Structure 1
Amino acid sequence: MIPRFKQIVLIFLFLFATNIYPENNNKKNDHVIHGYIIDAESKHPISYANVLLFSSETKKQTSGIATNDDGYFELNGIGPGVYFMEIHFIGYKIKQVEDIEITEENDLFDMGEIIIQPDLLSTDNIEVLGQRSPITYQIDKKIINVDEQITATSGTAVEILENVPSVTVDIEGNVSLRGSSNFTVLIDGRPTILEANDILQQISAASIDNIEIITNPSAKFNPEGTTGIINLVMKKNKQLGFHGLVEGNGGYRNRYGGQAILNYKSGKYQLTMDAGYGQRARYGDEREENITTQENVSSFRNSEGTSDREGDRFRVRGELGIQLSPADFLSFGGNFQDRERRRIANINFSEWTDLAPEKINTASNTFRSRGGDEYSVYASYDHKFNESGHLIRAEAQYESGDSKESTNTELLDNNFAIVNGIKTTEDGPDEEFQAKLDYTLPLNKDTKFEAGYQNELDLSDELTGYSTYNPTSGRYELHDEFSNHVKSQRNEHALYSLFASKIGQLGYQFGFRAEYTDRKIELVETTNTFTLNRWDYFPSIHSSYKFANGHQVMASYTRRIDRPRGWYLEPFETWFDAFNVRVGNPDIIPEYIDSYEAGYQAALGKTVLSTEFYYRINHNKIERLRSVYDETVTLHTTENVGTDYSSGTELMVNFDPVKDWNVNLLGNLYNYRIEGAIFEEAFSRESFNWNVRFNNRFKLWESAQLQLNMNYNSASVSSQSEREGFFYTHLALKQEFFNKTLSATLQIRDMFGTANYEHTSKGTDFYTYRLYEREFPEITLNVRYFINRQQNKKDRNRGGGDGEDFNGGEEF
Structure 2
Amino acid sequence: MKLQLILLSFFLAFTQFAFAQGPRAGGMPPMSNGTIFGKVVEEDGTTPIEFASVVLHQSSDDKVIGGGITNEKGFFRISKIDEGNYYIQVKFMGYETTRIDSFDMGTEAKRVGKIVLKSSATELEEVSVSADRPKVEYNIDRKVINVSNLATAMSGTAVEVLENLPSIQVDAEGEVSLRGSSDFTVFIDGRPSVFSGSDALKQLPASSIASIEVITNPSAKYDPDGTSGIINIITKKKMGGFSGVANVHGGNQGRYGSDALFSYKTGKFNFYLGGDYNNYGRNGTSTNITNTYRGDTTFVQSAKGDAGRAFTPYNIKAGFDFDATKNDLFTLMFSKGQWGMNRTEESDFIDEEIINGVPSFSNSFFSDELFEIKNNYYTADLDYVHKFKDKKGHELSFGAYFRTSEKDESTENIFENSDGSYYKEGQYGTEYDKDKSLRLKLDYILPLGDNKFEAGYQARLERAEGYNELFLKDGSDGEWVLQDEFSFNNTYSRDIHSAYGIFSGKKNKLGYQFGLRAEYTDRQIKILELPEDDSHINRIDLFPTVHFSYQLPKEQQLMASYGRKINRPRSWYLEPFLTYSDAFNVRRGNPDLLPEFIDSYELGYQKNIKNATLSVEGYYRIEHNNIQRITLVYEEDPSKRISYPINVGTESTGGVEIMYSTPIVKWWHMNLATNLFSYSIEGKIEEQDISRSSFNWTANISNDLKLGKIGRLQISSRYYSPTVTAQGEREDMVSLDLGYRQQFMDGKFSLNVMARNILGTMNREQYTYGPDFDSYRNFEMLPSYSVSLSYRINNYKPKRGKRPSGSGGGGMEGDF
Structure 1 residue corresponding to 2:54, chosen from 48, 51, 54: 51
Q: 280-289 or 431-440, which moves further after superposition?
A: 280-289
Q: Does 1:571 align with 2:572?
A: no
- Matching residue's letter, 1:640: N
- The answer to whether the 8 Å contact 2:166/2:673 transfers is yes
* 1:461 pairs with 2:468: no
Counterpart selection for 2:785 from 750, 757, 779? 779
CA distance in 2, matches of 1:66, 1:160: 28
* Paired amino acid for 1:346: E
Query: Which ranges of structure 2 fall in alignment gaps of 5 or more residues?
Result: 1-31, 803-807
Change (3 A) 1:291 1:213: same
CA distance in 2, matches of 1:45, 1:219: 27
CA contact (8 A) 1:162 1:168 kept: yes
1:110 Cα deviation after fit: 2.2
The answer to whether the 8 A contact 1:119-1:131 is kept is no
1:635–1:89 distance in 2 versus 1, CA, 3 Å: same
Report how far residue 32 of structure 1 moved.
Answer: 2.2
Structure 2: how far apart are the matches of 1:375 and 1:808? 18
Task: Report the 3-state secondary structure (helix = DSSP H, G, I; strand = E; otherwise coil) of the residue aligned with 2:746.
Answer: coil
1:471 maps onto 2:475 in alignment: yes
The change in CA–CA distance for 1:213 and 1:41 in structure 2 (over 3 A counts) is farther
What SS is found at the alignment partner of 1:151? Answer: coil
TM-score for the superposition, normalised by structure 2: 0.90
Cα distance change, pair 333–128 in 1 and its aligned pair in 2 (3 A): closer
Question: Per-residue displacement from partner, 1:435-464 (whole Å, max 9, x unpaired)?
Answer: 0110000011x2000000001011111110
Specify the alignment match of 1:417 in structure 2.
421
Whole-angstrom distance in 2 between the partners of 1:44 and 1:79: 32
For the residue of structure 1 that corresponds to 2:130, the secondary structure is coil
Find the counterpart in structure 2 of residue 136 from structure 1.
137
| Conservation of the 8 A alpha-carbon contact between 1:121 and 1:131 | no
Q: What is the root-mean-square deviation in Å for CA atoms of aligned residues?
A: 2.4
CA contact (8 A) 2:307 2:344 kept: yes
Q: Is structure 2 residue 228 aligned with structure 1 residue 224?
A: no
Instruction: Tell me by how many angstroms 1:779 deviates.
Output: 1.2
| Identity in percent | 37
Q: Deviations over 1:258-294 (max 9, x none)?
A: 1111111233111221111111222211111111123
Aligned residues: 766
Aligned partner of 2:104 among 101, 104, 112? 101
Aligned to 1:707: 714
1:678 maps onto 2:685 in alignment? yes
Does the CA contact (< 8 Å) of 1:235 and 1:809 recur in 2? no
Partner of 1:669: 676
- 2:18 aligns to what? none
Deviation at 1:166, TM superposition (A): 0.5
Counterpart in the other structure of 1:393? 397
8 A Cα contact 1:412 1:420, kept in partner: no
The separation in 1 between residues aligned to 2:147 and 2:316, in whole angstroms, is 20
Q: Deviation of residue 414 (structure 1)?
A: 2.8
Contact 2:757 2:782 survives alignment (8 Å)? no
Superposition deviation, residue 35 in structure 1: 3.1
Aligned to 1:5: none
Is contact 2:95-2:611 (8 Å) kept?
A: no
Q: Which residue of 2 aligns with 1:593?
A: 598
Question: Does 1:554 find its partner at 2:559?
Answer: yes
Per-residue deviation, residues 316-337 of structure 1 (Å, max 9, x unmatched): 1122000000000000001111
For the Cα contact (< 8 Å) 1:42–1:808, is it kept in 2? no
CA positional deviation for 1:659: 2.9
Report the alpha carbon displacement of residue 122 of structure 1 after superposing the two structures with TM: 7.6
Match of 1:637 in 2: 644
Pair 1:33-2:39 in alignment: no
- 8 Å contact kept, 1:30–1:79: no
Alignment-derived partner of residue 174 in structure 1: 175
Q: 1:361 aligns with which of 345, 359, 364?
A: 364
Secondary structure at 1:283 match in 2: strand
CA contact (8 A) 1:55 1:83 kept: yes
The 3-state SS of whatever aligns with 1:475 is coil
Q: What amino acid is the match of 1:779?
A: Y
Matched, 1:608 2:609: no
> Does structure 2 retain, via aligned residues, the 8 Å contact 1:530–1:586?
yes
| 578-587 or 527-536: bigger deviation | 527-536
Alignment partner of 2:133: what SS? coil
Specify the alignment match of 1:480 in structure 2.
484
Task: Tell me the SS of whatever aligns to 2:199.
Answer: helix
Distance 1:662 1:154, change over 3 A: same
Instruction: Flag the 1:30–1:449 CA change in 2: closer, same or farther, 3 A.
Output: closer
State the SS of the aligned residue for 2:678.
Answer: strand
On the 8 A contact 1:742/1:785 being kept in 2, the answer is yes
For residue 549 of structure 1, report the CA deviation from its aligned partner.
3.6
Matched, 1:318 2:318: yes
> 1:493 aligns to what?
497
Give the CA deviation at 1:548.
4.3
From the superposition, tell whether residues 188 and 40 of structure 1 become closer, same or farther in structure 2 (CA, over 3 Å).
farther
Higher mean C-alpha deviation, range 650-659 or range 212-221: 650-659
Task: State the partner residue of 2:16.
Answer: none
Change (3 A) 1:100 1:236: farther
Deviation at 1:474, TM superposition (A): 1.0
Per the normalisation by structure 1, the TM-score is 0.91
**Residue identity in the other structure for 1:61:** V
Cα contact 1:63–1:549 (8 A) shared by 2: no
Offset of 1:82 from its aligned partner? Answer: 3.2
What are the Cα deviations for residues 650-703 of structure 1, in whole angstroms up to 9, with x where unaligned?
111111222301101111111101111111122211111111110011111001
Cα distance between partner residues in 1 of 2:42 and 2:539 = 44
1:591-627 CA deviation, whole Å, 9 max, x = no partner? 0000000111122333332211101111000000000
User: Is residue 2:632 matched to residue 1:659?
Assistant: no
Q: 1:66 to 1:339 in 2, by over 3 A?
A: closer
Q: Tell me the SS of whatever aligns to 2:360.
A: coil
Residue 622 of structure 1, aligned match among 618, 627, 638 = 627
Distance 1:121 1:161, change over 3 A: farther
Work out which structure has the larger RCO, using CA pairs closer than 8 Å and 6 or more positions apart in sequence.
2
Say whether the 8 Å CA contact 1:287–1:303 is kept in structure 2. Answer: yes
Aligned ranges for residues 43-442 of structure 1 at < 5 Å? 47-67=50-70, 71-102=74-105, 104=106, 106-116=107-117, 120=121, 129-237=130-238, 239-355=239-355, 356-386=359-389, 387-418=391-422, 419-442=424-447
CA contact (8 A) 2:598 2:621 kept: yes
Partners of 1:362 and 1:708 in 2: CA distance: 43
* AA aligned opposite 1:482: F
Distance of aligned partners of 1:330 and 1:44 in 2 relative to their CA distance in 1, 3 Å threshold = farther
Cα distance in 1 for residues equivalent to 2:398 and 2:280: 38
Among residues 750, 755, 766, which one is paired with 1:748 in the alignment?
A: 755
